[in-house]
Each structure stands twice: as structure tokens, then as C-alpha cells.
Amino acid sequence: MNTSLKIGSIMGIPVKLHITFLLILPVFALVFSINEPPLGFAGTTPLILNYALSLLTTILLFVCILLHELGHSYIAKSYGVEIKDITLLLFGGVSSMEEIPREPSQELRMAFAGPFVSFVIGFGLLALHIMAISFIPSYSGTSIYLMVGILASINIVLGLFNLLPAFPMDGGRLLRAWYAKRMSYIKATHYAASFGKIFAVMMGLFGLFFNPWLILIALFVYIGASEEDKQTTVTIGLEKHKVEDVMSKEVVSVLPEMTVEDLSHFMFENKHLGYPVIQGNSLKGIVTFTDIRNILPNDRFATLVSDIMTKDVISLSSGANAAEAFKIMTVNNIGRVLIADDDDVKGILSRTDLMRLLMLESE
């Protein structure tokens, strides 16, 4: 199920709205509409206008969050990092990057770019706010006055919050960059993630007594820190190995002229749910259980593998490193990838093969 809706592109980066963003948008607007000034519009305008102003403020707030993410993305792109997309969701925004720069100075600049944009917006609006109060006496107390004040204060708080030294916040990446100048990247990640998890536990305990929302944020931080630590350990562990040293060289394949009925029996006998389709020595495509699942029983005798196979095969060369294979599997949500040199299939590599390699290396 696709849970995100693309609304456009900026700097060549697709911008998406997650379903959680669409759900939280009216909630944020409601919060602004029922809060008293200076954090809301309650009692300042008629009810309909009040909610309209609150909704506009919420939309502008998420535009600021988008600019925050674009700050990260702009610096990352300058270092050659590919940005898959930017998604606005429940907790704000997320930039999906191909990889995080390993050079500490690059990661430091990229991590700080987001909070810097938030500070520029926040203090810029605050300066305009103060100037308008000084030169336009009637400005004070108006709806625009309240809106600018709300956006200025939230952007400053957003910048400060993201500097907290805990993954997945920007401060966690700043901390790792600082550590990485003094030790290995994997050890720096472990230390920064450990600090983040300790911070999350303290935040959760504080939230238990004062604010339940902090417990949810603490859970988000703890999971983010754990995933960053695990992902980095896996990636760096796999970078040292070539796929040709890990892959299974005995590839079980099927012919394009095989019927779907024969293929279903073949899958049952061989206990695999996906097979490359090879004719001669040439790779034609790949067919999986998902491809045959929707074929009606009566049609399986007349339908050929060539009719349902996927022709755009995701493959890697035998000289690629295992970390690249893991990244491809993760991004495309697949369990195995074909290893081929110029359509000549050399082997197949599964996620299980990679996990087994990491287990052996750790032991």
C-alpha cells in the first residue's frame, strides 16, 4: 500500500505527504484555534476565521519544516549524495538519502544545515516582528502579529530541539561527526547511538511524570538510535567483502516458455519463491510467486512465464561489494538479488547469505 502522495519536486527532489501528515494537519489547526494568544487564536476572531488562520499557520509551519529538510538535502547534494525524496509526516519531515557522508566535516555541515535554516527563519521572522511593532502601531494584537510570533517561536524551538545529541535528530549526527574525528566511524556511531538511547530513557522517565507526549518522542528517539547503530554496523561490516565471495553460484532458473502451471509445481518442489528466467546463457527476466498468485487456475495452462515475468531485473556485477547488495535489497524491499556480468548470470545473493556472513564475522 502506498502511504505517501507526491505533491511536486524541488531541486529535483520529489516532495511527498505521508498519510500521517494528512491526519495531523487538522489536529494542529485545532490546537492553534483553541489556544489563547500568544500560542493560538482563541477569542481573537470569529470561529470560522479563527480555524482558517490556524490551518494557514499549520501549513506555513510545515513549509518551514520542508525548508529545514531542503537545507540538509542541499548540502548533501553538494557532496554527491543522492536524495530519494523528502516526506512530510507526523513528526515533521524526513529526507531519504542514499547514504550519509562518512567524512566527519561533511556530515557535520549537512547535519547543521537543517537547524541553521530553522534559526534563519525563526530569528528572521522575530526581527520582522519587532520592526513591525516599532513602525506600525496597529500591527500589535492583529492576527498577522500572532501568526508571525507563533512561526518565529516554533522555528527557533525546532532548531534547538533538533540539536539535541540523539539520533535520529541532527544533534546525534553532529555528535557522531565529533566522535568520528577521534575514532573509527563504527565506534563513533556506537557511542553517539548509546548516548541517544540514554537520553531517550531519561526523556521517557521525565514524560512519565510530566508530559505523556515525551514518552512517544523518547520511543521514537530510542528506536532511531538503535536502527542507526545496527545499520552502520551492517554496512561497514559488509563493505569489506565482494558479492562473488558470498553469493550462491548454483542458480536454479526457469525457461521463458514454461507454463505457469508447471512453474507453480516447480516452486513447490524447489522451495523457492523467485527464479531468474534464462534462455541459453542470456538473462530474460525474473519471476516470483507474487507474479503467479493472481493468475486464475484455468489460465495457468495457457499462460507462459514470459507473459508474467519482470523484465527489468535488479542485478549487480560480481565485482560489487556486499554492502551495495544490502542497500539495493533494502531500498527495493527484496530478499535476493541476481549477480550478472553483461546478462551472464554468475550467481544469486540473498539477505540470508549476508546475515550469515555478518554472524560468522562477529564470531
List pLDDT tens digits, range 323-334.
888 888 877 777
Q: What is the largest CA-CA distance in the chain?
A: 83
Please, what's the b/e burial string for 328-358 (b: 16 or more CB within 10 A of its CB; e: otherwise)?
bbeeeeeebbbbbeeeebbbbbbeebbeebb
Average model confidence (pLDDT) across the chain: 86
Residue 350: strand pairing partners: 336
Backbone angles phi, psi at 117, to 5 degrees: -60, -40
**Percent with pLDDT over 70 in the chain:** 98
Residue ranges, comma separated, of all CATH 3.10.580.10 domains in the chain are 243-362
**Residue-level pLDDT at 323:** 85
Contact criterion met (CB below 8 Å) for 298 and 306: no
**Residue-level pLDDT at 47:** 81
**Residue-level pLDDT at 2:** 65
Q: What share of the chain is helix, strand, coil (3-state, %, to 5)?
A: 60, 15, 25
- What is the torsion angle, in degrees rounded to the nearest 10, for the CA atoms of residue 225, residue 226, residue 230 and residue 235? -20
List pLDDT tens digits, range 39-66.
888 877 788 888 889 999 999 998 999 9
pLDDT at 157 over 90: yes
Q: How many beta carbons lie within 10 A of that of residue 230, not counting itself?
A: 12
Q: Residue 168 corresponds to which cell in the numbers above?
A: 535520529
pLDDT at 1 over 60: no
**Residue-level pLDDT at 91:** 64
List pLDDT tens digits, range 224-277.
888 888 888 888 888 888 888 888 887 788 888 999 899 988 888 887 777 888
List pLDDT tens digits, range 274-288.
788 888 777 888 888
Q: What is the mean pLDDT of residues 169-175?
A: 91
Q: Residue 159 corresponds to which cell in the numbers above?
A: 532548531
**Residue-level pLDDT at 142:** 80
Among candidate residues 33, 32, 51, the one with its CA nearest the CA of residue 154:
32
CA distance 63 to 42: 23
Q: Which are the catalytic amino acids?
A: 69
CATH class of residue range 243-362: alpha beta
CA distance 355 to 349: 11
Q: What is the mean pLDDT of residues 156-172?
A: 89
